[in-house]
A and B are shown apart, each in its own frame.
Chain A
Amino acid sequence: MQELNNKIAELLTNNLVSIFISYKKGLNGKIKPAFFTKPNEVYENYFGDEAQQNLAVYVHKPEVKKYSKVGILANIFALKALLQLYAENQIKDNYLTIVTVNQDNKVIVFADFNEIESYIAQHQIEKNTNKQKEINELLSLSREKRWEFWVEQLSSCIKCYACRAICPMCYCSKCTVELNQPQWISVPAHSLGNFEWHIMRMMHLACRCINCQECSRVCPMNIPLHLLTTKINSDMEEEFGQIAGMKTTLDFALNTFKVDDYENFIR
């Protein structure tokens, strides 16, 4: 931890970054994001297993964007998100200084995104078998039962858009749901509007979602959105062999045609 704090303080002191995004402990002991602009604030910095939140989401918030150079402490999900954002042309060169702490508690400062690409390739996230079990259980149900399940789950959505606010991939300045000329997606939190919203969001995340499952964690109504993201991610992997957040170049299943696409969904 001390090594990390020293590194952050050093970056701030030497003006290599004007703001550093990291974690600190909140009043009730919960871990929350921290935004350090001065070296003497860094003592608050905290990094540990509880620091789960994907900080990559703050990179495209206007409050952060006004700083000329930004540093960020990234866990593996944040690294994947940042790599995907870079591939989607959302991170300018020489704008971010990305820091991570590896399993041996060693602080790593990445020189460029190619280094992140190879780091991610070496540090694969293991598949959560519990979640896969949940999905398999759901898939074993009949189509009607599954529909009922989602009607029940999604009817509780209050359209607070917390899922969108926490998602590092939801960076559009104007979301489709806010368009009203014409209004493709109905705004009220009724079943139809909720279905339209979540299905649309999942389609927009297909092959872009890095599966950090923050949307599920922040949902105040406890809707299991991670089931949708995990399923769509595994579908993308199985059908197109594509996993988001692995490469510096944009390789997007929905807008590329490859002769060797499996196409086993066409029957």
Chain B
Amino acid sequence: MDPATLIPTPEAIPLGAAWFRWLLLGTFLLHLIAMNLMLGGAVMALVHSLRPAGAGGGAPLDQEISRKLPYTIAFAVNLGVPPFLFLQVLYGQFIYASSVVMAGWWLCLFLLVMLAYYAAYVYDFKFTALGPGRAAVIGLAVILLLAAGLLLTHNMTLMLSPAAWAGHLDDPSGTLLNWSEPSLWPRFLHFVVASLAVAGLGLALWGRWRLRQGQASGQDMVARGLVWFTRATLTQLAGGLWFLFSLPGPLMQLFIGGDLGYTLALWGAVAAALLALGLAHQGRALAAGLALLPALFLMVLTRDHLRASWLQPWFSIEGLTVTPQYGPALIFGASLLVGLAMVAWMLWAARQAGKEN
């Protein structure tokens, strides 16, 4: 069967596709950072809680993480909304179809995240009372988040493979998954390991901030964070290559010289990550963080390149019909400015809390 016959007809979009593409990439980058901090933070807390005190374990740090974990989940979910929105605007005909063919699993996504969210709150509010049982609670949260991530990986790869949808015609129970996709596991692990790296660096930056506030506990956080970042990034070098080589040959070729833009983006990201690694090795958390940002952005761009090339036989966002309407977009832009200003003021006010007098 020709997979093209299964691809739904797309809707018109109200603004040029490029606008939505950059909105998608920009908001996805924010989501990615929040998600990495959430997942990586939870894994770090779990690993710490499994170690004996003095051997890398330590309740005080875990408690610090426990207080922040709900925030990261809240923002990972919240910042996941706009990229999912813009993804549907540009690729709705793919993501809706792939979601339906794995509908039963896909609907579980919110349950997994919600349970992880509540587990995180239990971990936070009952940290002391839980005692040794806290490893089980944070472990549950990690498993739930990993399962959610795996479902996302399934869907993000399934939406790229209309040929894989055909199984739904024989069994429309919405239970299809994309296990046969060679890049599934390397892709999933790529995101998981990246989460450890980003969360490690986040811990280091948090420790750095603590130190600048005159809190000695920051030193340990910087050290531990950079260890997490370094080890995870080194692992990522191998894992990334596995991911690259798991791609279909013609697609992989695009990233190793077949397409200059694609190649530059990928290897630019790798170079930035290596730079961050080097800076981390020198204990320069902030500089490593600044180097990692372009790495993350270029990786997001590479992910977009990969999607575009994967869908190229069937679709290109440039082909979408545009029926322009600018007013709502302008209102969104204005609301974003006002909203961010309000957020900034509220965060400032929170910082000032207790210091007003």
Partners in one complex: no
> Residues of B at under 8 Å CB distance from A?
none
> Residues of A at under 8 Å CB distance from B?
none
